[in-house]
Structure 1
């Protein structure tokens, strides 16, 4: 396994802000998926590869040691799953995006899955403190026969502390391509006004999205997912892309719904049952 630590952890031109990157590569060999590339710069790491299912599926936990993102921080994560491999990426806890103090923070995630590879991006929720300003980019490139499940839970303000998101801005852009064909493109901006708007979060503070891409999914998969939720929950199926949405005010409820949807969809998308995600229960 290649494990490379670059030696420019702090970019002094950014006035002390962290400029961090993590590049991971997974390879399938003799029936097992191995973490064969691991490069990092700045405070992004990956814990020891885990195999809670069997050797065919490698679980990796991405860690941001500072514990939160401050104004001016930029995080870059790149993952490549080689032919026939299966990688699951999670985080050990919620990501915290602190007040920006006039500087924009950002995260760019690029995921690539080669032929017949399976890639799952399942981080825990992101909590945006009041007056956080962030730009989030998420790009997925799938080869023919590759499959993907990704989840994103955003919490605006800290509900448990009584803090509301009354100032700040979170911009998002995401895309999924399979065999070069664009399957999904979405961009938007969450502001305090968008939280209140009926065309935004309609007064709610938590939104969650789960995207699943595989071979053509049956209508029964959509029906099973739709049976999971009530008000504020929905799902749509467009050929081999299934979209699950939830808006509400409780991050725990959003987590539970996204995990339930994952458990339903994983056997359809990746021909595997879904066991417990260890990092989500610690």
Structure 2
């Protein structure tokens, strides 16, 4: 999907939908930004599904993208063939994109490989948040086996400024050592790319002292990276929400989304 700016308002310029992925755009009053809601009509991801999402925000437009509900990665019949999700984000100069989907719940036996590619122009702003929950916590589900791979590539003005890979496979995460998520039921990654990234680091780090879960952040090359992990998903969720609100302060883009759509 492609967004642009018309008469000071963000506007949808192009939308292509196919298969189970749909997008809806709630009517908003008294705001120049645009909110998009992604919907997976299949109700989850399983058995080698291939999903592609591309969002581009043109000069002068402000856009928030979220999801209708938490995504679910169901047990795979063949873990050697993971489902694949590829997300491509583009933000032009003087544009802002907040990528704020609800969390992904990885069921026991789930297999997924996710790729995130973002290209941010100099002078653009992008806030990306992704949260992963291991198992259906309310049911007491324990992950006995899984296959997960996350790959991140962030470019700022065409230059690669962040590359990261995370792989989890084999046995139960709760049996691993401390360096491999022992006792952790949820993890989250928050990336902020923009002129204010270096300034925001100190404020975000101070706020993490009362996060209620493991939390840390760093900044390099115009990219602010924050990580959250905890045994209780709700504490990770609350810490990430607080971080989003802090980074959004003064912009007032995410606040209506936080109250109406996300989490």
**TM-score if structure 1 supplies the norm length?**
0.85
1:252 aligns with 234
2:15 aligns with 38
Rounded to whole Å, the distance in 2 between the matches of 1:107 and 1:220 is 33
Q: Runs ≥4 in structure 1, deviation > 6 angstroms?
A: none
Counterparts of 1:122-201 in structure 2 under 5 Å?
Answer: 122-191=100-169, 192=171, 196-201=176-181
1:6 aligns with none
Q: How far apart are residue 157 of structure 1 and its match? A: 1.4
Question: Relative to structure 1, is the Cα distance of residues 96 and 108 closer, same or farther in structure 2, using a 3 angstrom cutoff?
Answer: same
Give the number of equivalent residue pairs: 255
Query: What is the DSSP-based 3-state SS (H/G/I as helix, E as strand, rest coil) of the residue aligned with 1:280?
Result: coil
Question: Relative to structure 1, is the Cα distance of residues 133 and 53 closer, same or farther in structure 2, using a 3 angstrom cutoff?
Answer: farther
1:112 aligns with 90
Rounded to whole Å, the distance in 1 between the matches of 2:74 and 2:62 is 33
Rounded to whole Å, the distance in 2 between the matches of 1:163 and 1:180 is 43
Residue 90 (structure 1) aligned to one of 66, 73, 77 = 66
Rounded to whole Å, the distance in 2 between the matches of 1:53 and 1:250 is 37
2:40 aligns with 64
Question: Relative to structure 1, is the Cα distance of residues 119 and 43 closer, same or farther in structure 2, using a 3 angstrom cutoff?
Answer: same
Rounded to whole Å, the distance in 1 between the matches of 2:209 and 2:44 is 36
Q: How far apart are residue 122 of structure 1 and its match? A: 0.3
Rounded to whole Å, the distance in 2 between the matches of 1:110 and 1:52 is 28
Rounded to whole Å, the distance in 2 between the matches of 1:180 and 1:239 is 13
Show structure 1 runs of 5+ residues with no match: 1-23
Counterparts of 1:73-84 in structure 2 under 5 Å?
Answer: 73-84=49-60
Q: How far apart are residue 167 of structure 1 and its match? A: 0.8
Rounded to whole Å, the distance in 2 between the matches of 1:49 and 1:27 is 17
Q: How far apart are residue 256 of structure 1 and its match? A: 1.2
Query: What is the DSSP-based 3-state SS (H/G/I as helix, E as strand, rest coil) of the residue aligned with 2:179?
Result: coil
Show structure 2 runs of 5+ residues with no match: none
Query: What is the DSSP-based 3-state SS (H/G/I as helix, E as strand, rest coil) of the residue aligned with 2:163?
Result: strand
Rounded to whole Å, the distance in 2 between the matches of 1:280 and 1:147 is 20
The alignment status of 1:264 with 2:242, answered yes or no, reads: no
